[in-house]
Chains A and B, each alone.
Chain A
């Protein structure tokens, strides 16, 4: 059994729930769901801009968490981070599949404006400019623009390191450095209680 150290109480609870889910404990799944489903529904709605799809991803995420709970290793990170990584990855996968999906002419015409907006967003600022994301972008506001933009592209758009570099027109090494410094600053804010 893995040794878990220095977790917060909430993370300890989540770790326990994941461990119980690995033993097919549906009650643990229910508890985890009630604990976080609102948070993730909001996150997915922000990423996908579609409540129905957000609900589907939310359900798929908890199914995946239940079935793959045995994969979680406390040494690889805090349990909430593990949950967020799985959920965010699923939402971004859904977003990319949707963008690649062939569309009927009617659908295409209907969404021309939206796609044009999206293209513009990608061209000027690929992170959605919606108010829905303000609540989490707020936490990044203390970062220099270069660090914040790089983290936002990774976090909300699922861009790879190279895609971020290409998009921002900077060398890959610079991007890695920006990301490192940004994460160190967020960590510092968290430890000093300045987060959120």
Chain B
């Protein structure tokens, strides 16, 4: 290939040829595969950096292109619509049929040659793109499976949480029922204070929210104390001291002897909690008595064990099959080991 052809090829690729010069060169190009190859390679050399460069992604602009070409446009403008009189349509029709048949024949003839056909190019000659698409589809499928799996796990976890919530609710209901049963068994055995008995305290706590004030806290502490038998007095003393509010002094915060009992029906045992019993004279012990009704005599239960500063908690049972449940309780000071009846030295009686 001579220098002049190389020069023309270079100018052609750089779009520097025009008019007759360009037309002449294209004629040469049409006839020379060598020149075609050179032009192609010049084009690659000049444009390949551009092909490799990436730019901003603007898929939204495609819609404007569609609008400009017309969404229903079926034919390129290069094929203008014929405006000939009617007879020309028949002529064009015949020509079209003829060209179609000619094309079919050419297709059959050329099918055995190695020519590359446009319709076959994409699937057969672009395996990289196809592989890339398949890889992308596989990735998306894997991602979908992962997300589906995660959703299933979340659904399972949700079911477990719902089940646990139901169990907690059931436990709570059982606890509330148990609480109510225990509350009904609390037997106050001392005189009410300002019109409020221990039952009243529990009902108040159960019926109204904790307001945070000292009296409310005191009632709650009392309720908890009733049910658990835990030592509440130090806590109450500290709380009342901190609040400086002595207007509602809880019973257990006073120095007056007091106590309560809870009867456990299932094992026929009673729980007794007492406070502020004074020290007894030497040789005397506190003795517990109970009875089912006021019409009956007190039944002797036994001596109370050693108390701590007048406070103590004990369990007791009644060895009498006819005994229903304690409805009145009495604590006396006795010298005898097995007193037959309560002495007059009474410290607590109730309710």
CA A166 – CA B29 in complex, angstroms? 29
Give chain B residues whose Cβ lies under 8 Å from the Cβ of A6: 37, 40
Which of A71, A138, A158, A176 sits near B11, CB closer than 8 Å?
A176
The answer, yes or no, to whether B121 is at the interface (CB within 8 Å) is yes
B74-91 interface bits toward A, Cβ cutoff 8 Å, 1 = contact, 0 = none: 111111000000000000
Q: Is the CB–CB distance between B53 and A177 below 8 Å?
A: no
CA A43 – CA B55 in complex, angstroms? 8
The answer, yes or no, to whether A85 is at the interface (CB within 8 Å) is yes
The answer, yes or no, to whether A136 is at the interface (CB within 8 Å) is yes
Q: Is the CB–CB distance between A81 and B16 below 8 Å?
A: no
CA A76 – CA B77 in complex, angstroms? 22
CA A168 – CA B36 in complex, angstroms? 30
CA A13 – CA B121 in complex, angstroms? 7
The answer, yes or no, to whether B208 is at the interface (CB within 8 Å) is no
Q: Is the CB–CB distance between B16 and A187 below 8 Å?
A: no
Within 8 A of A (CB), among B125-141: 125-129
The answer, yes or no, to whether A146 is at the interface (CB within 8 Å) is no
Q: Is the CB–CB distance between A183 and B49 below 8 Å?
A: no
Give chain B residues whose Cβ lies under 8 Å from the Cβ of A161: 11, 16
- Which of A23-31, A106-114, A116-124 participates in binding chain B? A23-31
The answer, yes or no, to whether B97 is at the interface (CB within 8 Å) is no
CA A22 – CA B75 in complex, angstroms? 8
Contact size class for B? 35 or more
A77-117 interface bits toward B, Cβ cutoff 8 Å, 1 = contact, 0 = none: 11011001100110000000000000000000000000000
Give chain B residues whose Cβ lies under 8 Å from the Cβ of A42: 53-56
- A76-B78 in contact given A12-B121, A41-B58, A184-B10 (Cβ < 8 Å): no
Q: Is the CB–CB distance between B62 and A12 below 8 Å?
A: no
CA A33 – CA B33 in complex, angstroms? 30
Residue ID in chain B nearest A139 by CB atoms: B49
CA A88 – CA B78 in complex, angstroms? 22
Secondary structure type dominating chain B contacts:
helix
CA A184 – CA B50 in complex, angstroms? 18
- A13-B30 in contact given A66-B69, A184-B6 (Cβ < 8 Å): no
- A24-B75 in contact given A10-B51, A43-B50, A183-B45 (Cβ < 8 Å): yes
A119-147 interface bits toward B, Cβ cutoff 8 Å, 1 = contact, 0 = none: 00000000000000001101100000000
Contact size class for A? 35 or more
Q: Is the CB–CB distance between A183 and B53 below 8 Å?
A: no
CA A190 – CA B69 in complex, angstroms? 36
Subset of 9 A-B contacts with CB under 8 Å: A1-B118, A13-B126, A24-B74, A38-B55, A43-B55, A77-B12, A188-B45, A190-B45, A196-B48
Q: A39-B51, A196-B48 are in contact. List 18 more A-B contacts (CB 8 A).
A: A13-B126, A16-B118, A37-B58, A39-B50, A41-B56, A41-B58, A43-B53, A67-B77, A69-B76, A76-B39, A77-B43, A80-B51, A139-B49, A151-B46, A177-B7, A184-B10, A186-B46, A190-B45
Using a CB–CB cutoff of 8 Å, the interface residues on chain A facing chain B are: 1, 3-10, 12-13, 15-16, 19-22, 24, 26, 29-30, 33-34, 37-43, 45, 55, 58-60, 62-63, 66-71, 75-78, 80-81, 84-85, 88-89, 135-136, 138-139, 151, 154-155, 158, 160-161, 176-177, 179-180, 182-184, 186-191, 195-196
